[in-house]
Amino acid sequence: MTAVSTTVARPLALRRSAVASLVGSAVEFYEFTIYGFLAVVFAPLFFPADDPAASTLSALAVFGGGYLARPLGGVLFGALGDRIGRRPVLMATIFLMGGASMLIGVLPTYEQAGLLAPALLLALRLLQGLSAGGEFTGAQTYIVEMAPANRRGLYGSLPALGIGLGFAVASLVVAGTSAALTGEQMTAFGWRLPFLLCVPLTIACLFLRLRLEDSPEFAAIAARAELTRTPVRDAVRGHLPDILRVAALTVATLGPGFLAKLYLGIHLVQVEGMDPVHVYGLLGVLLLITAALFPVMGHVGDRRGRRPIIAAGFTAFALLSLPLFLVVDATRELWIIAPVLLVFAAVEPFVSAAVYTTFAELFPGRIRYTATSIGFNLGTIVAAGFGPYICSRLVAWSGWTPAPGLWGVACAALGLLVLLTTRETRRTGPAR
C-alpha cells in the first residue's frame, strides 16, 4: 500500500499550497539563517572578547543552540499536526519564527544590558529553533500530501527550493546592507535591519497560509477516525529505523550543503579576510542560479526514482568538498572561487529535491508529520546546528584552513552508506 494517499487536491488548492510551501520555507530559512551571516558583525556586541575569533565561536555556539530546540519543536508541532491538522500548525510556526526574529533585531547589547543581552539572544534563538522544528517538515508533509501521486517529487522539491531561496535572499540582504553602510554603521545598527525585515516577510507568509485548506489525506484520516492520540509513541515504536534513517540522511544532506550556504561565507570573511559585500553578494547570486535545478531534479525523480539522484548528489559532495576548500585556501580571487563554488552549490538540488520527498513517503499519514520532524531535526542538530562550529574548531585545532572540507566528505560518505539500506519510495511505501 502506498504511503501517501492517492486522493487528489483541487487544482486551486494545490496551487495555493505550492506557493505557500515555497514562500514559507524561504521565509523560515531567511529568518533562521540571517543570524549565521551576521554573526561576525554582532558577535563582539554580545560576547565581548580580546580575540574576535573567540567572539565568533561564542555566537556560532548560540547559533547551534537554536538547533538544540528543533527536536522539541518537531515533537510538539509534529504531534499537533498529526492530531489537529497541518494548516493551523503551519500558521503557528511561521508566527513564532517571525516574532522571535524581529525581537533579535531590537535586543540590547552587552554594553547596554550586561549578561542579560546574551541570555536574551540565546532565549530568542531557542524560540526560533522551536518554530523551525515544525515548519519545514510540516510544509514538506503538507505539499507531498496535496500533490498528485505521479508528481510528488516535483511538488515536494518546492520546500527545498524555498531553503535555497531563503539562503540566497539572506546573503543578498547582508551584502546590500553591508554595501550601503560603513563598517561602523553596520556594527552600530546595520546588523539589526535584516532581522527587522522579518516583520513584513512574516505578515506576507501568514496571509498566504490563511487561504489554505488541510490536505485531502489528512481530512480522510480524520473522517475515518484514524487520528492517533499518541503520534510520538506510535512513530517511535513502529518506525524507529526509518526515523534514524531520516536523521542520518539529513546529516549527509545539510552537512555539505551548509558548507557552501553558510560556513563558507564566515570562513572567507573571517579566516581569509575578504570583503563581506563581495562574499555574500557572490553567495546570493550563485544560490539563485542553482535554485532553478530544484524543480527540475524533482521532476526527474518522479520519472527515474529518488535513490539514483540522491546517490549522485552524495557522491559529488564526497568528491568536491575538500577541493572546494583547497581552492579557497590557495587564492583570494573571487573570480577563481566562483566557478568552483557554483559547481559545488549545484550538487545540492540533486540531493534535496529527492531526499525530502522520500522522507514524507517513508511514513503513513497518521504519523507522518511527527516521524519526519523527529528524524529531520535530530539530523539538523549535528549537520546544520553545530556543523559551522565544528568546521571552525577543525581549523583552530589543525591550523589547516581546508579542514572543513573533511567534514563535508564525512557527511556525504555517511549518506551513501545509509542510502544502501533505504528503499525506493517513488511508487511504494510502508504498509499502514
CA distance 13 to 213: 7
Does residue 289 lie in a domain region?
Answer: yes
Q: For position 432, what pLDDT does the model report?
A: 47
Residues in CB range of 150: below 8 A, 6 or more apart? 302
Q: What is the CATH number of the domain that holds 194?
A: 1.20.1250.20
pLDDT at 393: 86
Domain with 356 in it: 11-217+234-419
Residues 6+ away with beta carbon under 8 Å from 186: 41, 177, 178
Distance from C-alpha of 335 to C-alpha of 269, rounded to nearest angstrom: 16
Query: Would you say residue 5 lies in a domain?
Result: no
Would you say residue 428 lies in a domain?
A: no
Rounded CA separation 131/325 (Å): 33
Domain count for the chain, please give it: 1
C-alpha cell, 286: 550563485
Within-domain flag for 229: no
112 Cβ neighbours under 8 A, 6+ residues apart: none
280-to-36, 175, 277, 312, 318 alpha-carbon distances in Å: 12, 5, 6, 28, 24
pLDDT-flagged residues of the chain (< 50): 1-2, 429-432
The 3-class SS string of 238-249 reads HHHHHHHHHHHH
Give a yes or no: residue 306 inside a domain. yes
Q: What local confidence, expressed as pLDDT, does residue 354 receive? A: 94
Predicted local confidence at residue 163, as pLDDT: 87
248: Cβ–Cβ under 8 A, 6 or more apart, which residues? 379, 414, 415, 418
Give helix then strand counts, H and E, for the chain: 21, 0
* C-alpha count within 13 angstroms, C-beta hemisphere, residue 213: 11
Asked if 302 and 336 count as a contact pair (C-beta separation under 8 A), the reply is no
CA distance 53 to 56: 5
Residue 92: inside a domain: yes
| Contact partners, residue 180, CB within 8 Å, separation at least 6 | 190
In a domain, 349, yes or no: yes
Give domain status of residue 225, yes or no: no
Give me the pLDDT at residue 66, please: 75
pTM reported for the whole predicted model = 0.88
